[in-house]
Amino acid sequence: MAGVVAYSLAGALASSVVGAALGASGGLVLPADAGPLVVSAAALVGMTTVAWDLGWIRWRLLEPRRQTRDIWNGRYGWLLGATLWGFDLGLVVTTRFTFAGAWVLVSSAFLVGDALLGSALFLSYWLGRAASVWIAPLLLDGADQTPALLDEINDRQRSFRSINLLGVGLLTISLLLFAKL
Amino acid sequence: MRTTIRLRPAVVTANLAVGLLAPVAGVAAVAARDPRLAMLAGAWLLGWVQLVGL
């Protein structure tokens, strides 16, 4: 339990900082009357992401080529290992993306041009992501079933891809509405 | 050889309910013209679906 809490808190900290940095950067770079630019960029990123996740674009997804280090648990102990793992995944932009939808999150945090909202977006993303770590143990009768659960999840990639597209659509449309305010 | 897993039905239902809460909240927020809340719901959903990358 302490490991899950440490994982969640470290990830929340990392996500908040990255989201705030992106939002603040957008605020500095984007002009005051950036509405049309934000609308165009959001629509472009949203459509490109959907095309990528549907397999219409054959190029490899632009993403970091690394994953969290599974040796951390052995080297630093389970508590610090979980903390480092959460922090690393919470950064979002340092590890592989499961779907291209992560680009919509990154671009949205930048395009809103506000550190607080950018931070809230990344924190919300992280809370959704960390939820599975809290829920997964409740799903199973024992820890030895985790590999089988992951196999089951992988067998349902199409369903998760559809849910991802729903998230992309929701975030893109709401960003378009936000930019028009 | 694949191992059969035993999922607890009540927890699976609860997990799906949690997952579906975000899009429902997001659509409601769009309808209520609150794009910030809708954006947060969209971001939450994108994070939730990353569980395949556990």
Q: What's the pLDDT band for A179 if we cut at 50, 70, 90?
A: confident
The total of structural domains in chain B comes to 1
Q: What's the pLDDT band for A163 if we cut at 50, 70, 90?
A: confident
> Which amino acid type is present at position A164?
N
Place of tokens 């929701």: A170
> A130-140: per-residue pLDDT in tens?
987 887 777 77
The total of structural domains in chain A comes to 1
CA atoms of B44 and B46, how far apart (whole Å): 5
pLDDT higher at A147 or B8: A147
Tokens of A49: 């992401």
Of B27, B46, B54, the CB nearest to A164: B46
Between chains, do B30 and A170 touch, taking CB under 8 Å as contact? yes
pLDDT of residue B54: 47
ipTM of the complex: 0.88
Q: What's the pLDDT band for B11 if we cut at 50, 70, 90?
A: low
Answer yes or no: is pLDDT of A103 > 80: yes
Between chains, do A160 and B52 touch, taking CB under 8 Å as contact? yes
pLDDT of residue A62: 79
Residues A157, A161, A167, A171, Cα dihedral to 10° = 140
Average model confidence (pLDDT) across chain A:
86
Of B15, B36, B44, the CB nearest to A128: B44
CA atoms of A168 and A47, how far apart (whole Å): 9
Q: Work out the average pLDDT over B8-30.
A: 69
pLDDT higher at A180 or A123: A123
Tokens of A105: 């999150």
Q: Work out the average pLDDT over B10-18.
A: 65
Between chains, do A132 and B50 touch, taking CB under 8 Å as contact? yes
Q: Work out the average pLDDT over A22-38.
A: 89
- Please tell me the distance in Å from A131's CA to the nearest CA on chain B: 7
pLDDT higher at A131 or B23: A131
Residue of B nearest to A99 (CA): B50
Q: Work out the average pLDDT over A101-110.
A: 92
pLDDT of residue A23: 95
Rg (CA), chain B: 15
Residues A102, A103, A108, A114, Cα dihedral to 10° = 90
Residue numbers of the domain that contains B25? 17-53
Whether B25 is covered by a domain: the verdict is yes
> A107-116: per-residue pLDDT in tens?
999 999 999 9
A-B C-beta contacts closer than 8 Å: 153
Whether B1 is covered by a domain: the verdict is no
> A39-94: per-residue pLDDT in tens?
888 889 989 999 988 888 888 777 888 887 777 877 888 888 889 999 999 999 88
Of A127, A157, A169, the CB nearest to B47: A127
Residue numbers of the domain that contains A70? 2-179
pLDDT higher at A167 or A17: A17
Pick among A61, A63, A99, A129 to test the B interface (most B CBs inside 10 A)? A129
pLDDT of residue A110: 94
Place of tokens 């992560």: A102
pLDDT higher at A143 or A173: A173
- Please tell me the distance in Å from B25's CA to the nearest CA on chain A: 10
CA atoms of A13 and A108, how far apart (whole Å): 19
> Which amino acid type is present at position A42?
A
